[in-house]
Amino acid sequence: RNYLYHPTLSSTNDQAKESARRGAPEGTTIVAEEQSGGRGRLGRSWHSPRGGLWFSVVLRPPLPPARAPEAVFVAAVAGVEALAAYPGVQVGLKWPNDFVWRGRKLGGILTEVTGELDQINHLVVGIGLNVNLDLQDFPPELRTGVTSVREITGGDVSRSELLRQLLAALEHWYLVWLKQGFTPVLAAWKRHNACLDRLLRVLTPEGELVGRAVDVDADGALLLATAGGVRRVVTGELQVEG
């Protein structure tokens, strides 16, 4: 496996995209001890101090770019399964890409794709997990919404061991996705979900929606039962209200 470790990077996703452009083989994994410009979904920055696990993997699935959004679910299921090996770290998934524990965010996934109309060139899957971190390692405004493996278990875990387990789980679910399609991936995601049947407030690019999450459809979109009927949410930010 092509595995590259950096003490500091701006963003492992950027580095992985650059390597992929230069022809890095599938499976190339970029890890950084800390990121100075870590990126989250929806153009946000991602706080990435020393002690967390910040990495990105280059994939080259033989699929059209329209199917790239499914990769978030592949990575989410892999992450939950790897974390389940740690006693007490029963993590849930908040649509589409958050790892949550008791309503607090433990980590997230950022996938980025490059390709032509009919074929993905490369797909970068970036995963960030708050591992050996204290709440004090986060800026005050983030502290109420986040947690870490250390906060949950009261101790430190080996990040290299966690990374090994994550990569093994990612490989497993990636192959399930390629060989059996999205259906079994989505079924596994639903088993671990922490947002279906919950009352949600969703910020979408078109405005705010409030409703109960009834399902995730075959394309990975969230179906929300609102006062105005069932709405299909493709991108947005969830807040669990009840």
Minimal distance, residue 154 CB to ligand BTN, in Å: 24
Q: Does residue 132 have a known ligand-binding role?
A: no
**Given candidates 35, 111, 130, 193, which one binds ligand BTN under the rule CB under 6 A?**
35
Q: Which residues within the stretch 49-68 sit at the binding site for ligand BTN (CB under 6 A)?
A: 54-56
d(CA 161, CA 180): 28
**Given candidates 4, 6, 41, 114, which one binds ligand BTN under the rule CB under 6 A?**
41
The first and second tokens of residue 242, run together, are 């009840």
The one segment of 67-75, 86-94, 126-134, 145-153 that binds ligand BTN by CB under 6 A = 126-134
Q: Does 74 bind ligand BTN (CB under 6 A)?
A: no
Question: In terms of Cα–Cα distance, which of 187, 239, 176 is closest to 209?
Answer: 239
* Site size toward ligand BTN, by CB under 6 A: 22
Cβ–Cβ < 8 Å for 99, 107: yes
Q: Does 108 bind ligand BTN (CB under 6 A)?
A: yes
Q: 25-57 burial, b for 16+ CB within 10 Å, e for fewer?
A: eebbbbbbbebeebbbbeeeebbbeebbbbbbb
Cβ–Cβ < 8 Å for 87, 149: no
In this structure, the chain runs to a length of: 242
Minimal distance, residue 167 CB to ligand BTN, in Å: 14
Q: Does residue 11 have a known ligand-binding role?
A: yes
Binding to ligand BTN by CB under 6 A, coded x per residue (else -) over 128-147, reads x-------------------
Q: Does 46 bind ligand BTN (CB under 6 A)?
A: yes
Q: Does residue 164 have a known ligand-binding role?
A: no
CA distances, 232 to each of 6, 57, 92, 154, 236 (Å): 40, 30, 22, 40, 11
Phi, psi torsion values for 192, nearest 5 degrees: -105, 5
d(CA 27, CA 140): 36
Q: Which residues within the stretch 5-24 sit at the binding site for ligand BTN (CB under 6 A)?
A: 11-13
Report the DSSP beta bridge partners of residue 115.
Answer: 120
**Given candidates 19, 97, 130, 193, which one binds ligand BTN under the rule CB under 6 A?**
97
**Given candidates 61, 126, 211, 236, which one binds ligand BTN under the rule CB under 6 A?**
126
Please give the residue ranges that form the binding site for ligand BTN (CB under 6 A). Answer: 11-13, 35, 38-41, 44, 46, 48, 54-56, 97-98, 108-110, 126-128
Q: Which residues are annotated as a binding site for biotin?
A: 11-13, 35, 39-41, 105
